[in-house]
């Protein structure tokens, strides 16, 4: 499946603000959350709904509601947590798992240090959250982990993706649909996306 780039003037506007090195922590964090909401809307176009009968102020009627028990949202630490707030805003009862990975700055390979997902994860659709899809190493490692737990359907949401990372994930896991706000040009020689946002985790948490 080809990566889906969400094209919308509001997303272009918000990504443009995030790219600016002058944008502060508070605004950067809020924008990451807002864009995550846009991505979630798109990724859940095929969400399963169940019909329920309710009473409006006027009469009884049938409505369709999403069965939230069929989904699990899994941010990849630490930067992925910056997207989870936006998810919770629109799906307040969302089940949130956590995968802790960091990138070895010398090898650029992901290192796992934490893993916690819902016990019935194999019965849910898993939606991974990570602001940057750069080399693809962390995404592939996270996908492998949840596939080993029996998950059949997986989607990956990110703010910015590099062509190299997309290609690597698509080659390894062609059944995983990628959704992103922007596909950038390339990776530089130290594995950062160009033009990118810089280190999204550092900017979300105000470390640098």
Catalytic residue among 19, 103, 112, 141: 103
Distances in whole angstroms, Cα of residue 117 to Cα of each of 52, 78, 87, 111, 182: 29, 15, 16, 18, 28
Contacts of 126 (CB under 8 A, 6+ apart): 71, 72, 74, 97, 117, 146, 151, 153, 154, 155
Q: Kind and range of the H or E element at 28?
A: helix 25-43
Q: Is 202 a catalytic residue?
A: yes
Catalytic residue among 20, 49, 107, 175: 107
Active-site residue 175, yes or no?
no
Instruction: Based on the residue annotation, tell me whether 189 is a catalytic residue of this protein.
Output: no
Q: Does the active-site annotation cover 135? A: no
DSSP 126-195: EEEE-SEESSSHHHHHHHHHHHHTT---EEEEEEEE-HHHHHHHHHH-TTSEEEEEEE-SEE-TTS-EES
| CA-based nearest residue to 65, from 44, 42, 48 | 48
Residue among 183, 206, 204, 192 at smallest CA distance from 34: 204
> What residues are annotated to the active site?
103, 107, 199, 202
């Amino acid at each position: 499946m080809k990566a889906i780039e969400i094209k919308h003037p509001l997303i272009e506007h918000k990504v443009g603000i995030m790219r600016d090195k002058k944008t502060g922590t508070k605004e950067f964090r809020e924008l990451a959350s807002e864009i995550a909401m846009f991505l979630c809307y798109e990724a859940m176009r095929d969400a399963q709904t169940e019909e329920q009968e309710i009473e409006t102020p006027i009469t009884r009627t049938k409505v369709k509601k999403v069965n939230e028990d069929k989904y699990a949202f899994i941010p990849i630490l630490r930067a992925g947590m910056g997207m989870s707030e936006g998810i919770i805003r629109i799906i307040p009862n969302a089940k949130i798992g956590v995968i802790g990975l960091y990138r070895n700055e010398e090898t650029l390979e992901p290192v796992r240090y934490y893993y916690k997902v819902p016990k019935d994860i194999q019965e849910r659709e898993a939606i991974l959250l990570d602001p940057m899809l750069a080399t693809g190493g962390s995404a592939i490692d996270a996908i492998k982990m949840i596939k080993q737990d029996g998950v059949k359907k997986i989607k990956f949401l990110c703010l910015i993706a590099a062509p190299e990372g997309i290609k690597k994930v698509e080659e390894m896991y062609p059944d995983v649909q990628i959704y992103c706000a922007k596909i950038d040009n390339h990776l530089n020689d130290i594995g950062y996306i160009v033009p990118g946002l810089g280190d999204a985790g550092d900017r979300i948490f105000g470390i640098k």
